[in-house]
Amino acid sequence: MSKDKGFVTEITPQGEDFSRWYIDVIKKAELMDYSPVRGCIVFRPDGYEIWEHMQRELDQRFKDTGHRNAYFPLFIPESFFQKEKEHVEGFNPELPFVTEAGGEQLEEKLAIRPTSETMFGHMYAKWINSYRDLPVLINQWANVVRWEKRTLPFLRTSEFLWQEGHTAHEDEADARGETMRMLDVYTDFVENVLAIPVIKGQKTPSEKFAGAVDTFSIEAMMRDGRAVQAGTSHYMGTNFAVAFDIKYLSRENTQEFCHTTSWGVSTRLIGAMIMVHGDDRGLMLPPKVAPTQVMMIPIGPPKTREQVIAKTDELYAELKKAGVRVRVDDRSDVSPGWKFNEYEMRGIPIRLELGPRDLENGVCVLVSRVSGEKKQVPLDNLVAEVKAMLDEVHQEMFQRALEFRKEHFFSVETLDELKAKLEEQRGFALAGWCGSEACEKQVKDETGATSRNIPFEPAETKTQCLVCGDPSKHTVAFARAY
Amino acid sequence: MSKDKGFVTEITPQGEDFSRWYIDVIKKAELMDYSPVRGCIVFRPDGYEIWEHMQRELDQRFKDTGHRNAYFPLFIPESFFQKEKEHVEGFNPELPFVTEAGGEQLEEKLAIRPTSETMFGHMYAKWINSYRDLPVLINQWANVVRWEKRTLPFLRTSEFLWQEGHTAHEDEADARGETMRMLDVYTDFVENVLAIPVIKGQKTPSEKFAGAVDTFSIEAMMRDGRAVQAGTSHYMGTNFAVAFDIKYLSRENTQEFCHTTSWGVSTRLIGAMIMVHGDDRGLMLPPKVAPTQVMMIPIGPPKTREQVIAKTDELYAELKKAGVRVRVDDRSDVSPGWKFNEYEMRGIPIRLELGPRDLENGVCVLVSRVSGEKKQVPLDNLVAEVKAMLDEVHQEMFQRALEFRKEHFFSVETLDELKAKLEEQRGFALAGWCGSEACEKQVKDETGATSRNIPFEPAETKTQCLVCGDPSKHTVAFARAY
């Protein structure tokens, strides 16, 4: 369904304008399109299929850890947002409201959910009676809306797709266990499926979720050195339980408030994945979520064409049967060179070339999108070779992203040093922090960098606050963020 | 998470009040709960999991027939509804509008999608240029909203979940081929997965989709004799293409309008499935979508308990490994009798009982939810026996529904006869129809029955219109419908 059938129009180089590069590749690779509604995008089939693979991988992990899915209403009564004070302050500026329906004005305005936190709270209060009902472990896959002023496809859109887990527990220990378990699930998924190395840690109080006691996050570094929060997991204490009256009869026969958690990831992961892995030739898709893992391109002169295509079709069937997501481009009206560029731009992990000489020798050539390495492999072992190379591509992508992060992760002692570093090169900075909101705010005001999180395993422990010089309470990762 | 841990409270018998029976079972089986927003329900885990199995089965069939998924925005500009005249008339009374967002009044009101028909049209006009781009075969899984005056959980709710396929083609033949192919996909799914026999046919002009040239449907008979439209597939002609300017360069180098189709099924299928199969004991779930297919209940006195439970756990692991959705209820504080009633009410296809005597003999007892048949089976062949019984349960459910439909499908010559029949017993009626809207309307006004569809394969061909007595143009299935 591409509009331009000719050669690839130039993609802006990353070094020239990273944002422009990003928009160029996602449009050209047909992952998305702008919609006529401000800040809302259309997920085109190749963009949406990435999300489908992400969903399948995550959903399996949620089910393996005892969660079930449910579905709660899109609309939330305005009054629900008044119940948890921090929550209302956090979300009110971003809410769209339905005020008329079926040709009539509504008595109470209905918000479109920015999260279903409050609706889960309301229902949990009805469903939970006794410690025997606990824990309640429910996840929801849904669309949510936050009326953003500045939007960026996938990374920040007015409507986006996500999952939100909300769980209720007897006590703090159980709820905190869940909070960390889900942070680990996200880490496993983002690293081992999306090939993105992440920094696990705790958010500072000013950066935590509206209404949470503690928020934990995984943070990823984009190829322009900026951060994307790739997933969050919150321990809510009894805040929402008190606000929504989620009580249970304890083992000691007393009425107690539940301890709750919530955790979520969204389609912004698609944007992060593109910004972590792409290069000047275009997308680079992790094999586990790539809609097409192998693109087969038969080559050679017209006289051997029929024979080569017959073999291509045979190998296609073999790969497909083995569960590889494979496609063939056997068009004769576009050159192999055009196809090579096109599918590199689309980020397909492996290109398979098959020509008449290969056919004679019982081999074909596999080309990796990451390393560009060409490997001649025997046709009678093709499935195993392809699967091995898909694994290799995943590993190479992860390593490449990890190397980049190491090169762009610096350590600073003072605010001036941070400013200088961020002028010089983009990246994350590890620094000491005294714990005061004023110092944190000063970093943000003067550098545009925010505290990403307090890493669980910082490369080193810093001893003094980068702003005031007082003894540091935490070692914090700072970065400019999307 | 059940509120009452005691014996099952009575479910209203179907014969006494079918609607009451329906609400009783879906509440008691914890498939849904009412939400604080009018007409919107919460899909609880057991209700939502049924939808997940439906989705998986349908999605595979869509992909096997060449479709891909995408995602379009929730919001639709008000002006889009003005473009297709019949479409606006069909939907306007049901639209909710967002008029304020982010604390400000919007310049143009945004409708919440009642279907994404118009948004697909708008984007297709951008994406489609040439015959080489066709056909475009895209499906969307999404929530949609129609502000209904009277609602009924699953069957008619203000917000519901569905899939909508929208395709664009070069010509009428190709588009009509798609329309019928998807009607066949729905038929296969509803009959072979949900065990519901359906009547395939064409809608009369007054009952077709707003903006379609022809609408085709599959119709199912509920256990109170009323109809539910279980799926529709529409041939749009060039109506939407003209309205949204979806043109392509033809093989003859001329600009032509595409021929489009659309087709959808929704969570109302959950309601239909319950009303087709349930009985006075509660739900009866088709094995292919039942969240739990087998409930294992260890029985016997305390002294053999440990031994029986150990074996139960072993068999549980074996069944689970074989892909059977199985659960164990080994609680000792509720009686086996209570459990039997509870899981019958929840519609679980097979109950597995295991006691100390069985253990000695190397057998267990399987009990079918449909027939109540008890079958002693050897433990060393358990997986095969369970799988065979799941197939059997499916077949028996389909046959039971088919028998019921046969018994409640009558043939009438006149309107008086139809009235008399519908007084006497509920059901569908086959009758001749002259093709005039006036006669169709008279049937509806005097009996409450609407034309469900013009069956492709009616049991007999009627020769005169049941209202005016003129020669009949079509043999129509009439029924009162949800």
Q: Do B136 and A1 touch (CB under 8 A)?
A: yes
Domain housing A455:
409-479
Q: Does B37 touch chain A (CB under 8 A)?
A: yes
Q: Which of A71, A162, A270 to mutate to test the interface with B (most CBs of B within 10 A)?
A: A71
Task: Tell me: do A196 and A341 sit in the same domain.
Answer: no
Q: Using the predicted structure, report yes or no on whether residue A89 has a pLDDT greater than 80.
A: no
Higher pLDDT, B139 or A9: B139
Residue of B nearest to A168 (CA): B1
Task: Tell me: do A30 and A68 sit in the same domain.
Answer: yes
Q: Does B69 touch chain A (CB under 8 A)?
A: yes
The span from the CA of A5 to the CA of A19, in Å, is 25
Task: Tell me: do A392 and A455 sit in the same domain.
Answer: no
Query: What are the start-end ranges of the H helices in B104-223?
Result: 117-127, 172-192
Whether B3 is covered by a domain: the verdict is no
Q: Do B101 and A97 touch (CB under 8 A)?
A: yes
Report the 3 state secondary structure along chain A.
Answer: CCCCCCCCCCCCCCCCCHHHHHHHHHHHCCCEEECCCCCCEEECHHHHHHHHHHHHHHHHHHHHCCCEECECCCEEEHHHHHCCHHHHHHHHHHCEEEEEECCEEEEEEEEECCCCHHHHHHHHHHHCCEHHHCCEEEEEEEEEECCCCCCECCCECCEEEEEEEEEEECCHHHHHHHHHHHHHHHHHHHHHCCCCCCEEEECCHHHCCCCCCEEEEEEEECCCCCEEEEEEEEEEECHHHHHHCCEEECCCCCEEECEEEEEEEECHHHHHHHHHHCECCECCCCCCCCCCCEEEEECCCHHHHHHHHHHHHHHHHHHHHCCCCEEECCCCCCCHHHHHHHHHHCCCCEEEEECHHHHHHCEEEEEECCCCCEEEEEHHHHHHHHHHHHHHHHHHHHHHHHHHHHHCEEECCCHHHHHHHHHHCCCEEEEEECCCHHHHHHHHHHHCCEEEEEECCCCCCCCEECCCCCECCEEEEEECEC
Q: Does B33 touch chain A (CB under 8 A)?
A: yes
User: Beta strand B96-101 with A96-101: parallel, antiparallel or unpaired?
Assistant: antiparallel
Q: Does A66 touch chain B (CB under 8 A)?
A: no
Q: Using the predicted structure, report yes or no on whether residue A318 has a pLDDT greater than 90.
A: yes
Q: Do A126 and B93 touch (CB under 8 A)?
A: no
pLDDT in tens, A15-33: 999 999 999 999 999 999 9
Task: Tell me: do B439 and B374 sit in the same domain.
Answer: no
Q: Pick from B404, B420, B453: which residue ends a domain?
A: B404
Contacts of A433 (CB under 8 A, 6+ apart): A204, A439, A440, A451, A462, A465, A466, A467, A472, A473, A474, A475, A476
Looking at residue B9, its pLDDT comes to: 66
Whether A360 is covered by a domain: the verdict is yes
Q: Using the predicted structure, report yes or no on whether residue B8 has a pLDDT greater than 70.
A: no
Residue type for B478, please?
F
Task: Tell me: do A267 and A299 sit in the same domain.
Answer: no
The span from the CA of B455 to the CA of B199, in Å, is 6
Please answer whether residues B269 and B304 qualify as being in contact, where contact means their C-beta atoms are separated by less than 8 angstroms: no
> Which residue in the set B36, B48, B123 is minimally distant from A70, CB to CB?
B48
User: Would you state the structure tokens that stand for residue B297, as one six-digit string?
Assistant: 């209940």
Of A7-16, A107-116, A377-386, the one with minimum mean pLDDT is A7-16
SS3 B434: coil
On the CB side of B70, CA atoms within 13 Å amount to 26
> Which residue in the set A42, A68, A102 is minimally distant from B72, CB to CB?
A42
Q: Which of B50, B54, B64, B75 to mutate to test the interface with A (most CBs of A within 10 A)?
A: B75
The span from the CA of B118 to the CA of B291, in Å, is 35
Whether A5 is covered by a domain: the verdict is no
> Which residue in the set A48, A92, A122 is minimally distant from B70, CB to CB?
A48
Residues of chain B contacting A110 with CB distance shorter than 8 Å? 37, 96
Looking at residue A9, its pLDDT comes to: 66
Task: Tell me: do A263 and A364 sit in the same domain.
Answer: no
Whether A50 is covered by a domain: the verdict is yes
Contacts of A191 (CB under 8 A, 6+ apart): A197, A198, A398
Please answer whether residues A212 and A87 qualify as being in contact, where contact means their C-beta atoms are separated by less than 8 angstroms: no
The span from the CA of A210 to the CA of A227, in Å, is 21
Give the pLDDT mean for B242-270: 97
How far is residue B68 from each of residues B124, B174, B237, B246, measured CA to CA in Å?
Answer: 14, 18, 22, 20
Looking at residue A86, its pLDDT comes to: 74
For residue A400, the distance in angstroms to the closest alpha carbon of chain B comes to: 31
Task: Tell me: do B85 and B136 sit in the same domain.
Answer: yes
Looking at residue B2, its pLDDT comes to: 40
Please answer whether residues A290 and A283 qualify as being in contact, where contact means their C-beta atoms are separated by less than 8 angstroms: no
Angle at B46 between CA B45 and CA B52, to 5 degrees: 80
Q: Using the predicted structure, report yes or no on whether residue A246 has a pLDDT greater than 80.
A: yes
Q: How confident is the model at residue A2 (pLDDT cuts 50, 70, 90)?
A: very low
For chain A, give the number of residues: 482
Q: Domain containing A194 — which CATH number? A: 3.30.930.10
User: Beta strand B227-237 with B214-221: parallel, antiparallel or unpaired?
Assistant: antiparallel
Q: Do A35 and B73 touch (CB under 8 A)?
A: yes
Chains A and B: how many Cβ contacts under 8 Å?
160
Higher pLDDT, B82 or A168: A168
Q: Using the predicted structure, report yes or no on whether residue B248 has a pLDDT greater than 90.
A: yes
The span from the CA of A174 to the CA of A261, in Å, is 10
Q: Using the predicted structure, report yes or no on whether residue A7 has a pLDDT greater than 80.
A: no
Contacts of A333 (CB under 8 A, 6+ apart): none
Residues of chain A contacting B159 with CB distance shorter than 8 Å? 73-75
Q: Using the predicted structure, report yes or no on whether residue B405 has a pLDDT greater than 70.
A: yes
Task: Tell me: do A120 and A257 sit in the same domain.
Answer: yes
* Burial of B436 from C-beta contacts in 10 A (0-12 / 13-18 / 19+): middle
Q: Does A102 touch chain B (CB under 8 A)?
A: yes
Q: Do B1 and A136 touch (CB under 8 A)?
A: yes
> Which residue in the set A3, A49, A73 is minimally distant from B42, CB to CB?
A73
SS3 B480: coil
Q: Using the predicted structure, report yes or no on whether residue B6 has a pLDDT greater than 70.
A: no
Q: Do B127 and A1 touch (CB under 8 A)?
A: yes
Whether A8 is covered by a domain: the verdict is no
Looking at residue B88, its pLDDT comes to: 74
Residues of chain A contacting B5 with CB distance shorter than 8 Å? 132
The span from the CA of B256 to the CA of B19, in Å, is 50
Q: How confident is the model at residue B149 (pLDDT cuts 50, 70, 90)?
A: confident
Residue type for A286, please?
P
Q: Does B317 touch chain A (CB under 8 A)?
A: no
The span from the CA of B104 to the CA of B262, in Å, is 36
The span from the CA of A415 to the CA of A448, in Å, is 12
* Widest distance between CA atoms in chain A: 85
Q: Which of A48, A52, A329 to mutate to test the interface with B (most CBs of B within 10 A)?
A: A48
For chain B, give the number of residues: 482
Task: Tell me: do B379 and B335 sit in the same domain.
Answer: yes
Whether B1 is covered by a domain: the verdict is no
Residues of chain A contacting B45 with CB distance shorter than 8 Å? 68-70, 138
Helix-strand-coil percent breakdown of chain B, rounded to 5?
Answer: 40, 30, 35
Looking at residue A195, its pLDDT comes to: 98
For residue A73, the distance in angstroms to the closest alpha carbon of chain B comes to: 6
Q: Pick from B277, B308, B343: which residue ends a domain?
A: B277
Give the pLDDT mean for A455-465: 96
> Which residue in the set B1, B71, B102 is minimally distant from A127, CB to CB?
B1
Q: Does B66 touch chain A (CB under 8 A)?
A: no
Give the pLDDT mean for A420-448: 95
Residues of chain A contacting B72 with CB distance shorter than 8 Å? 35, 42-43
Q: Does A309 touch chain B (CB under 8 A)?
A: no
Give the pLDDT mean for B319-339: 96
The span from the CA of B356 to the CA of B97, in Å, is 63
Residue A294: name the closest of A318, A270, A311, A264 by CA: A318
The span from the CA of A41 to the CA of A33, in Å, is 6
CA B92, B95, B100, B105: dihedral to nearest 10 degrees? 0
Q: Do A74 and B126 touch (CB under 8 A)?
A: no
Q: Do A94 and B102 touch (CB under 8 A)?
A: yes
Task: Tell me: do A87 and A201 sit in the same domain.
Answer: yes
SS3 B181: helix
Place of tokens 């006794």: A130
Share of residues in chain B with pLDDT > 90 (%): 91
Whether B265 is covered by a domain: the verdict is yes
Task: Tell me: do B182 and B200 sit in the same domain.
Answer: yes
User: Beta strand A159-169 with A136-145: parallel, antiparallel or unpaired?
Assistant: antiparallel
How far is residue B432 from each of residues A59, A389, B108, B206, B472, measured CA to CA in Å?
Answer: 51, 65, 48, 16, 5
Of B64-73, B145-154, B288-297, the one with minimum mean pLDDT is B145-154
Give the pLDDT mean for B263-284: 98
Of A83-97, A304-318, A357-371, A422-436, the one with minimum mean pLDDT is A83-97
Q: Domain containing B469 — which CATH number? A: 3.30.110.30
The span from the CA of B458 to the CA of B431, in Å, is 10
The span from the CA of B136 to the CA of B56, in Å, is 22
Residue of A nearest to B138 (CA): A45
Q: Using the predicted structure, report yes or no on whether residue A4 has a pLDDT greater than 50.
A: no
Contacts of B421 (CB under 8 A, 6+ apart): B410, B412, B427, B429
Please answer whether residues B373 and B367 qualify as being in contact, where contact means their C-beta atoms are separated by less than 8 angstroms: yes
Residue of B nearest to A69 (CA): B45
On the CB side of A343, CA atoms within 13 Å amount to 28
Residue type for B286, please?
P
Q: Does B150 touch chain A (CB under 8 A)?
A: no
Q: Does B219 touch chain A (CB under 8 A)?
A: no
Task: Tell me: do B59 and B203 sit in the same domain.
Answer: yes
The span from the CA of B186 to the CA of B233, in Å, is 9
Q: Does A128 touch chain B (CB under 8 A)?
A: yes
Higher pLDDT, A27 or B92: A27
The span from the CA of A478 to the CA of A442, in Å, is 12
Q: Do A33 and B96 touch (CB under 8 A)?
A: no
Q: Does B78 touch chain A (CB under 8 A)?
A: no
Our count of domains for chain B comes to 3
pLDDT in tens, A227-240: 999 999 999 999 99
Q: Does A48 touch chain B (CB under 8 A)?
A: yes
Q: Using the predicted structure, report yes or no on whether residue A3 has a pLDDT greater than 60.
A: no
Q: Do A97 and B95 touch (CB under 8 A)?
A: no
Q: Do A126 and B159 touch (CB under 8 A)?
A: no
B85: phi then psi, degrees, rounded to nearest 5: -60, -50
Whether B287 is covered by a domain: the verdict is no
SS3 B33: strand
Q: Does B70 touch chain A (CB under 8 A)?
A: yes
Q: Which of A74, A109, A144 to mutate to test the interface with B (most CBs of B within 10 A)?
A: A74
